[in-house]
Amino acid sequence: FQGVKQGTGNSQYSGRVTIGTSQSGGSYQLNDTSRGGHKTYNLNRGSSGTGTLFTDADDVWGNGTTSDPATAGVDAQYGAQLTWDYYKNVHGRTGIRGDGVGAYSRVHYGSNYVNAFWSDDCFCMTYGDGSGNSKPLTSIDVAAHEMTHGVTAATANLNYAGESGGLNEATSDIFAAAVEFWADNPSDPGDYLVGEKININGNGTPLRYMDKPSKDGRSKDAWYSGLGGIDVHYSSGPANHWFYLASEGSGAKVINGVSYDSPTSDGLPVTGIGRDNAAKIWFKALTGRMQSTTDYAGARDATLWAAGELFGVGSDTYNNVANAWAAINVGS
């Protein structure tokens, strides 16, 4: 017989988790029919097609380490599940396109591949295993980042170049942080860091810092006239910084054991509105106002429109949103 199941996964980054699976005949599959049929496939070092759908005899998946190929499948399936649940429960959006249809994930892409990516062509996410000391790219924040590229493509469709490209990347980092905080998994508590679990630099540092993006040595903290000319993973910096400041405010702070200290470009303090409010505003701006060519000034307008709709024009929340933009040198 066939049915919707709840499997047990021994993940690499999130401890023991419950994952959506299904049963067909005598075996189980990583096919989450309760979330649009989101599936996870094993590319087994291949780099095209779908490889094979993960299957299992007892619905207990992975062993928590890379010695079992199913472990990466568990993390990918779990990250997609959390991201699905976050968009549905927090923003009322069911599925990447809002149509209830799941995407799919592919793990063990190629050899020594130190990246992950979303593709609109396959409507799927793909994860490498890392190389040397770097680890599989299947952490919660990376999964949420990549899946959010699908949401952006289905909504504002921000062009992946220039300032709009930086806003596209920032949207993925913003919801990566939001999903991680919302998931509240004790093995991977929420933070304003991107990729802190995967050792991508080989020295234990994260890929990006939202409180002070320039800590990575390349990202910008504030808008300047040349911002549209740099790589989108660095021009995302000011918008990531906006999200941190709007959420938490400026100054020093410790959250879930991580220390932050967020400077402002105008030297004026910013009062935070809370990350749930900041995420609601960004989501509404993304889906209700931003377009493919939206730049930083346009993103400010879009978030102020959203803040006005949600909290009232001239409310404290509205004014604090404007102050966070001024703190990254956008608007006055």
Please give the sequence-ordered ranges of beta strands (E in DSSP) within 199-239, or none if there are none: 208-209
Residue 12 within binding range of Zn ion, rule CB under 5 A: no
For 199, the token pair is 């050792």
Those residues with Cβ within 8 angstroms of residue 321's Cβ, 6 or more apart along the chain or in another chain: 246, 273, 278, 281, 303, 304, 307
Q: State the DSSP string of 130-186.
A: --TT---S--HHHHHHHHHHHHHHHTT---SSHHHHHHHHHHHHHHHHHHHHHH--T
Least distance (Å) between residue 287 CB and ligand ASN: 20
Residue 172 within binding range of Zn ion, rule CB under 5 A: yes
Instruction: Select the binding partner of residue 115 from Zn ion, ligand ASN, none (C-beta < 5 to 8 A, by kind).
Output: ligand ASN
Least distance (Å) between residue 238 CB and ligand ASN: 17
Q: Cβ closer to Zn ion: 119 or 319? A: 119
Catalytic residue among 91, 233, 241, 248: 233
Q: Cβ closer to Zn ion: 31 or 240? A: 240
| Cβ atoms within 10 Å, residue 131 | 13
| Cβ atoms within 10 Å, residue 181 | 19
Specify the stretch interacting with Zn ion by CB under 5 A; choose among 75-83, 167-175, 240-248, 276-284: 167-175
Binding site for ligand ASN (CB under 6 A): 115-117, 145-146, 149, 169
Q: Cβ closer to ligand ASN: 127 or 223? A: 127
**Is there a catalytic annotation at residue 233?**
yes
Least distance (Å) between residue 176 CB and Zn ion: 9
Residue 219 within binding range of Zn ion, rule CB under 5 A: no
Q: At what angle do helices 162-183 and 70-91 cross, to 10 degrees?
A: 100
**Is there a catalytic annotation at residue 146?**
yes
Least distance (Å) between residue 146 CB and Zn ion: 7
For 118, the token pair is 């979303």
CB-side neighbour CA atoms (13 Å) of 14? 31
Residue 235 within binding range of Zn ion, rule CB under 5 A: no
Determine the Cα–Cα distance for residues 32 and 65; give it in Å rounded to an integer: 22
For 62, the token pair is 């992975």
Instruction: Select the binding partner of residue 117 from ligand ASN, Zn ion, none (C-beta < 5 to 8 A, by kind).
Output: ligand ASN
Q: Cβ closer to ligand ASN: 14 or 148? A: 148
Nearest to 57 by CA among 23, 91, 81: 23
Residue nearest to ligand ASN (CB): 117
Those residues with Cβ within 8 angstroms of residue 298's Cβ, 6 or more apart along the chain or in another chain: 290, 291
Residue 171 within binding range of Zn ion, rule CB under 5 A: no
Least distance (Å) between residue 149 CB and ligand ASN: 6
Instruction: Select the binding partner of residue 75 from ligand ASN, Zn ion, none (C-beta < 5 to 8 A, by kind).
Output: none
Least distance (Å) between residue 42 CB and ligand ASN: 20
Q: Which residues would be at the binding site for Zn ion (CB under 5 A)? A: 172
Catalytic residues: 146, 233
